[in-house]
Structure 1
Amino acid sequence: MTFENTAEFARQLDASDPLASYRDQFHFPALEGQQVIYFTGNSLGLQPKRTAAFVEEIMKDWRELAVEGHFYADKPWWDYHERLAGPLSRVVGAKPSEITVMNTLTVNLHLLMVSFYRPSAKRYKILCEEKAFPSDQYMFQSQIRYHGLEVSDTLVEVRKREGEHHWRTEDVLAKIDEVGDELALVLLGGVNYYNGQVFDMEAITRAGKAAGAYVGWDLAHAVGNVELALHEWDVDFAAWCSYKYMNSGPGNASGVYIHERYHGRTDIPRFEGWWGTKKETRFLMQPAFDPMENADAWQISNAPVLALAPYLASLEMFEEVGMPALIAKRNLIVSYLEFILREIGKEVGSVFEIITPEARGTQLSVFLHGEGRSLFDYLMQQGVITDWREPNVIRLAPAPFYCSFEDMYRFGQILKKGIQKT
């Protein structure tokens, strides 16, 4: 397709967009009566309009049924989380039995480390990407110290090559081979939060498993954004937040994937609680833990249904649309955004360096050569909600559910004025 940097062309793309109607199913902030251009679905997705009804359903059941809502609500609370497993399995490429929803992301990664980071005298090292998201770094460091090990000797970071902005898959595979039989765990972000790079999760998982390590993924920026096939790739475990591309609300519950080979086992290390024991015997109050024969065995406490309701509302939309349609629009709108950036760069004589490689999802990270924080501030003042990362990067994530092609054109015009003013 030959793109054009015109409002008319952008509107033509919107007119032919099969997902265009979903834009009206989200609440947008407004500035001076006009919807903002929202580029931060990679930090917090917009609220679906149907969310309120899902939450109100629980509030109504609580008002009218009180404790009986656990068993007699239309969607009983005691198994509410199970309703999310099927839709999520289709988003991440897993079996429903391999999915559960609980806690929040870093909490779940810590809990999963209990099961999948089991260092020995010989095999104890963890491999991750350099400058992983800070929460992951803190998790790694604290887990390593908990096991009485030294971070400097245990944590192996795969670095980018000098002068490059992204990782090369061959460098990750080479590092796995180098660490060899000392490698206990490979745990990376499936999509890097800073540059938007999508790692070759299939190849890295295969290499890590061949080295004898467990392989897990932090999919915070991947779920609802890129194609995933966790079961097919033989991933051991993964976890993700739900408030970015999954639109479940700020700080909301985390999804978890655990390969079925680990289900129904009583010999695996795991922090256990009431909600992980079998439903058939749960209310017999027996002293011995009898694990659920699926990923729910890692559940500890009863589900926070008021938090899960917005997640279920959003998943209903994912079921309606399907990941292939979302990915198709993602590819087109991100390509159009890239075209707009390059056209504006030509017009104003300013160079935008897009540091996101071709292996990408819906995020473009743009290094602003010759521009600074004042340009970001101008964009925000004009109703372009984007994200600033030091030293000089803005992250642009046009979520396909609710961003339009006309948004991309309007952004380009605002960006051009901002450069001229600043």
Structure 2
Amino acid sequence: MNGFEATRAWADAQDAADPLRRFRDEFHIPPHNGHETLYFCGNSLGLQPRGVRAAIEAELQDWSELAVEAHFRGRSPWMHYHEYVRDAMAEVVGAKPHEVVAMNTLGVNLHLMMVSFYRPTRERPAILMEAGAFPTDRYALESQVRFHGFDPATDLIEMQADGPGGTLSMDAIEAAIAEHGHRVALILLPGIQYRTGQVFDLNRIVECGHEKGCLVGFDLAHAAGNLPLTLHATGADFAVWCTYKYLNAGPGAVAGAFVHERHAHADVPRFAGWWGHDKSTRFQMGPQFVPTPGADGWQLSNPPILALAPLRASLDVFSRAGMPRLVEKSRRLTAYLDWLIRSRLDDVLDIVTPNDPAQRGAQLSVRVRAGRDAGRALFTYLESNGVIGDWREPDVIRLSPTPLYNRFADCLGAVDAIDAWRASHA
């Protein structure tokens, strides 16, 4: 038995006993009609850490007082600024520090990684992906196939959902790799399917892909800061992720990339830039590009200080909270929201996300049984009553109880609001 209760007293008692409860106070919770919103949209845009303003203002002050000398004499010298987020980022995604870098945005990083790790040949021209992928991935992969002179109709292989609610089973992934692997140059899958909230088995995908001679990369946009990732141990060739969702670094924030250490010194094609040059000789301004070993060697430009400052502030929160404790709370919060929906709203909502905790993170995707129009009506009602989730076409509402700032009382409040909507439409 899970011991859950659908009462405010029980939810408040869980929140009072929560060892991570103080971290909620480190975030700005948007107001609604004199109260705090119930914010379940950290899977789309994380809330602002209170430390962000001071972090940015510190760099603004150094800029105003030191100008170019802040590269060397600032409180956090800008020359090395991207390195200040390296260790914490590596800890969040389960990598070695030299395997990760904060740079660009997710879509840019995906293209940069494919320059190096999608090297199609006549015998192996294909990319294997999921059908219904997030548009960034679909557009990038199709454009890369075309750029190399191949035909997406035959060389962009999309695996169709075969499980409940539009999920994709590991059996189907393994079967697709077994069938097409001899033609596949790259397998690119998400850590979490954005619409359904399904978690994929990264270790098994890498194992199956490498057995067939495929390179394997992941889009971890919805997984970084959410799942207990072990990127180095998976053996994935590369991964990319954004930092504005669970990592709370702000809209359009600097993204992250991972390159496994076996490629650290590899002579692979890449788009080169000054900041990717070996830093020991970078300022000799030589004409020949010598990449810095590790993920840093894929950088193009010097780091955007004002954009990295919020990420640094947010990662400080993660370091103090610790991913193991965050994951433990996330699983219990999500389980509570799942239980509340199934026990109180089973006639109203279908949960698309797998019930198995190993196959989901801090997200439940739901569909209204009455259909898309009713789903849109419910979403609008929730929004107007201060319950903030998000809508994904054609008919999914996503609710994400994020452990840094969501509470058990928030989960109960969201379900109470859905129950009130049902009553008003009875």
- The bucket for the TM-score relative to the shorter chain is over 0.9
Structure 1: give runs of 5+ residues left out of the alignment: none
Matches of residues 103-142 of structure 1 in structure 2 within 5 Å?
103-142=104-143
Equivalent position to 1:402, from 398, 401, 405:
405
Amino acid at match of 2:169: R
Q: Kindly indicate whether residue 424 of structure 2 is the aligned counterpart of residue 421 of structure 1.
A: yes
User: Deviations along 1:45-80, whole A, 9 cap, x unmatched?
Assistant: 000001111111100100000001111112111110
Equivalent residue, structure 2, for 1:206 = 207
Structure 1 length-normalised TM: 0.97
The answer to whether residue 43 in structure 2 is matched with residue 74 in structure 1 is no
Matches within 5 A, 1:371-386: 371-386=374-389
Distance of 2:172 and 2:187 partners within structure 1: 14
* Residue identity opposite 1:293 in structure 2: P
Preserved contact between residue 240 and residue 256 of structure 2 (Cα < 8 Å): yes
The 5 A counterparts of 1:314-353 are 314-345=314-345, 350-353=347-350
Give the AA of the match of 1:356: T
Q: How far does residue 312 in structure 1 lie from its aligned partner after superposition?
A: 0.5
Distance 1:408 1:163, change over 3 A: closer
Q: Secondary structure in 2 aligned to 1:280?
A: coil
Which moved further from structure 2: 194-203 or 406-415? 406-415
Question: C-alpha distance in 2, partners of 1:178/1:121?
Answer: 17
Sequence identity percentage = 48
User: What is the Cα-based RMSD across aligned positions, in Å?
Assistant: 1.1
Q: Is the 8 A contact 2:334 2:362 kept in 1?
A: yes
Report the Cα offset of residue 89 of structure 1. Answer: 0.9
Q: What does residue range 69-108 of structure 1 map to in structure 2 within 5 Å?
A: 69-108=70-109
| In 1, Cα distance between equivalents of 2:161 and 2:375 | 24
TM-score by length of 2: 0.96
Shift of 1:388: 1.3
In 2, Cα distance between equivalents of 1:372 and 1:73: 52
Per-residue CA deviation, residues 9-46 of structure 1 (Å, 9 max, x unaligned), is: 00011011111111111001111110000010000000
Counterpart of 1:343 in 2: which secondary structure? Answer: helix
- Please tell me whether the aligned partners of residues 85 and 99 of structure 1 are also in contact (alpha carbons under 8 angstroms): yes
Distance in 2 of aligned mates of 1:163 and 1:87: 36
Deviation at 1:290, TM superposition (A): 1.5
CA distance in 2, matches of 1:264, 1:200: 28
Deviation at 1:288, TM superposition (A): 0.7
Matched with 2:148 is: 147
Aligned to 2:302: 302
Give the deviation of 1:164 after TM superposition: 4.5
Matches within 5 A, 1:160-309: 160-161=161-162, 164-265=165-266, 267-309=267-309
Rounded to whole Å, the distance in 1 between the matches of 2:163 and 2:378 is 28
Provide the rounded CA distance (Å) in 2 between the counterparts of 1:62 and 1:21: 33
* Deviation string, structure 1 residues 136-183 (Cα, Å, up to 9, x no partner): 111011111101110011011111127652111011011001012111
Moved more, 412-421 or 231-240: 412-421
- Determine helix, strand or coil for the equivalent of 1:232: helix
User: Per-residue displacement from partner, 1:334-389 (whole Å, max 9, x unpaired)?
Assistant: 0110111123216xxx2321010121000000111013311111110000011112
Task: Report the Cα offset of residue 271 of structure 1.
Answer: 0.3
SS in structure 1 at match of 2:189: strand
Deviations 1:94-126 (A, max 9, x none): 100001111000000000000000001101110
CA offsets per residue over residues 172-195 of structure 1, 9 Å max, x none?
A: 011001012111000011101000
Instruction: Give the distance between the partners of 1:81 and 1:271, measured in 2 at CA.
Output: 19
Q: Partners in 1 of 2:352 and 2:398 — Cα distance?
A: 10
8 A Cα contact 2:78 2:305, kept in partner: yes
Partners of 2:316 and 2:22 in 1: how far apart? 15
Structure 2 counterpart of 1:246, one-letter code: L
User: In the alignment, what sits opposite 1:363?
Assistant: 363
Give the conservation status (yes or no) of the 8 Å contact 2:330–2:362: yes
The aligned counterpart of 2:49 is: 48
- The amino acid that maps onto 1:89 is A
SS in structure 1 at match of 2:127: strand
CA distance in structure 2 between the aligned counterparts of 1:17 and 1:164, rounded to whole angstroms: 33
**Alignment partners' CA distance in 1, 2:423 and 2:166:** 27
How far apart, CA to CA, are the structure 2 residues paired with 1:28 and 1:105? 26
- Residue in 1 that maps onto 2:65: 64
* Deviation larger for 194-203 or 336-345: 336-345
Alignment-derived partner of residue 312 in structure 2 = 312
Q: 1:16 matched to which residue of 2?
A: 17
One-letter identity of the residue aligned with 1:307: A
Asked if the contact 2:45/2:244 (under 8 Å) is kept, the reply is yes
Structure 1 residue 411: Cα displacement: 1.2
Separation in structure 2 between the aligned mates of residue 181 and residue 388 of structure 1, nearest angstrom = 38
On the 8 A contact 1:5/1:343 being kept in 2, the answer is no
Q: Which amino acid in the other structure matches residue 231 of structure 1?
A: H
d(CA) in 1 for partners of 2:283, 2:253: 28
